[in-house]
Amino acid sequence: MQHAQEWFDYILSSQWVELGNNNLIQPQRNADGIWTLGKITVCDQDILNACPSSDISNLQEFHILHDSWKAASFKIYRPLIYFCAFGKNEIFECVYTAIQSLIEFGHWQHDIAILTSEDKKDDFQLLLLLASLNLKKRLHLIIVPASEKIDWYISRYRIDHPIFKKAQPILYLDTDIMCDAPLDELLISLINSPLIHACKEGVIDEGGPETSGYWYGWRLMQEDHVPFNPKGFGFSSGVLLFNNTKTTQPFFDMIRRSTNGFIQKNGYNGVSYDQRFANYILLKFKQVEINILEKWVYLYRIPQQTTLTPSGNNKRGLVHFLNSSTENKLITMKKYLNDLRFRAKYNN
């Protein structure tokens, strides 16, 4: 009976997505042991029949039969957004601004993690800044190895911390990305996808056979004899959306290992390893989809020597600020946040 109660509590304490129609539900149980799962009604025994014999603490889906024979599957909705931030204060101010936008305009009510270096865990000014967001237990500062700059760039592929194991789905964002519309619809719609989702960006060959291949890894593919279409599209590694760590971690580990192996053999030149190797690995093994996020992510290239912001008339959900220094991006991001606040106040 104790195990049964733990199972009941686990289901009741979480939100779930009903696969097939992607309805987000909060299970309910009455005193008579009758359960409501969205539009489905079942009894205690139906729920018990779905209970696994193994540990339930990290269970991310369950399956039931209702009305004798009708099948239903549910995936836990415990989304996580994470950033990787290292180095100068402006980077962390960008993250702070990005999180403000997630709260105010993304209506984000779930967990957020920041992967960073050992020295930041006792940075009083940073901790004070993050505390002002009032996220309390929903904000997680995760310390990762960061002895060299390459560790900074590929830390987004380090998803072995326990918080990632419990999360589903998971969204990585660069520090120069802001949110201007809710994201739950996107995450719910892809919760059962086996692929990693990224945003289509540029042509793989970057314009011709003399290009460096820094952005989309075509020279890596060529050297490894991987078939590719030079005029096909590569993707930005600034936004990465995936279901959970179970299917994704082997490929993220491969990106890190391949990057480090390449550097050991060829030396480090500091150029776009995070994106180059992601394109190489994920395109080679056909683990990435790059069209869906194009509708949700605006790759905004800040006009040179300006802090002009996007118009705000066509809010997709995410804006990636590109083509400028960190300092200039921060100014532009803050301006855009104020623009969004002004529009929200004016429209109300």
Contacts (Cβ under 8 Å, ≥6 apart) of 167: 78, 79, 80, 111, 244, 245
Which stretch, 57-71, 141-155, 249-263, 304-318, has highest mean pLDDT? 249-263
Q: pLDDT tens digit string along 212-240? A: 888 999 999 999 999 999 999 999 999 99
Nearest to 120 by CA among 96, 99, 89, 98: 89
Q: pLDDT tens digit string along 302-347? A: 999 899 999 877 799 999 999 999 999 999 999 999 999 998 888 7
Question: What does the pLDDT read at residue 57?
Answer: 80
Contacts (Cβ under 8 Å, ≥6 apart) of 147: none
Query: Out of 29-33, 116-120, 286-290, 342-346, which region has the weakest mean confidence (pLDDT)?
Result: 342-346
Q: pLDDT tens digit string along 168-199? A: 999 999 999 999 999 999 999 999 999 999 99
Question: What does the pLDDT read at residue 319?
Answer: 98
**Taking all residues of the chain, what is their mean pLDDT, rounded to a whole number?**
94
Query: How far apart, in whole angstroms, are the C-alpha atoms of residue 87 and residue 175?
Result: 12
Query: How far apart, in whole angstroms, are the C-alpha atoms of residue 321 and residue 176?
Result: 6
Query: How far apart, in whole angstroms, are the C-alpha atoms of residue 178 and residue 316?
Result: 11
Contacts (Cβ under 8 Å, ≥6 apart) of 306: none
Checking if the pLDDT of 120 tops 70, the result is yes
Q: pLDDT tens digit string along 259-275? A: 999 999 998 877 789 99
Question: What does the pLDDT read at residue 238?
Answer: 97
CB 98 within 8 A of CB 104: no
Measured at the CA of 220, the angle between CA 219 and CA 225, to 5 degrees, comes to 95
Phi, psi of 94 (to 5 degrees): -60, -45
Q: pLDDT tens digit string along 198-207? A: 999 999 998 8
Q: Which domains does the chain have, with CATH numbers?
A: 2-77 (no CATH), 80-347 (3.90.550.10)
